[in-house]
């Protein structure tokens, strides 16, 4: 899966988006995340695994506890995708405007 597709897939799920959003506030353990969200701990763990596969989240072990945090570079494919299409559509919309001016009613 290309980087941007993996990011779209990972963030396309509302629960994963909620977990990711919570992690933007700082590092957290599965237990803390599950306590704040209407999903079970195993479900949170699965979502975290998906977010890690997409490169959006990294983990750190501290004794028996595992902590999760945002991996900011993981969003790079999304930022690049947006920049690419912003330029693409700005150019196309300018061409659309010219075409509309040339079109007969």
Partner 1 sequence: MSTSVVMQLDLPQPPEKVWRALTDPALVSKWLMKTTDLKPAVGAAFTFHIEPSPAWDGVVQCEMLDLEPHTRVRYTWRALGVDTIVTWTLAPTASGGTRLGLEHSGFAPEHRQAIAGAKHGWAKKISTLEELLASG
Question: Can residue 76 be called a binding residue for partner 1 (CB under 8 A)?
Answer: yes
Judge residue 96's burial from the number of C-beta atoms within 10 Å of its C-beta, 0-12 exposed, 13-18 middle, 19 or more buried.
exposed
Q: Which of 5, 31, 42, 65 binds partner 1 (CB under 8 A)?
A: 5
Q: Which residues are registered as beta bridge partners of 66? A: 61
Question: Can residue 21 be called a binding residue for partner 1 (CB under 8 A)?
Answer: yes
Tokens (6 digits) for 40: 């079970």
Question: Can residue 60 be called a binding residue for partner 1 (CB under 8 A)?
Answer: no
Nearby residues of 16 by Cβ (< 8 Å), 6 or more positions away: 10, 47, 50, 51
> Which residues are at the interface with partner 1 (CB under 8 A)?
1-2, 4-5, 7-8, 11-14, 17, 21, 24, 70, 72-73, 75-76, 78-79, 81-82, 85-86, 89-90, 92-93, 95-100, 103, 105
């Amino acid at each position: 899966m290309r980087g941007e597709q993996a990011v779209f897939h990972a963030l396309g799920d509302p629960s994963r988006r909620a977990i990711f959003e919570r992690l933007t506030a700082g590092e957290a353990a599965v237990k803390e995340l599950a306590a704040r969200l209407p999903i079970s701990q195993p479900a949170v763990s699965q979502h975290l695994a998906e977010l890690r596969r997409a490169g959006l989240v990294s983990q750190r072990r501290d004794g028996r506890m595992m902590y999760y945090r945002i991996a900011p570079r993981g969003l790079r494919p999304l930022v690049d995708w947006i920049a690419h299409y912003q330029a693409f559509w700005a150019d196309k919309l300018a061409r659309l405007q010219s075409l509309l001016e040339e079109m007969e009613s």
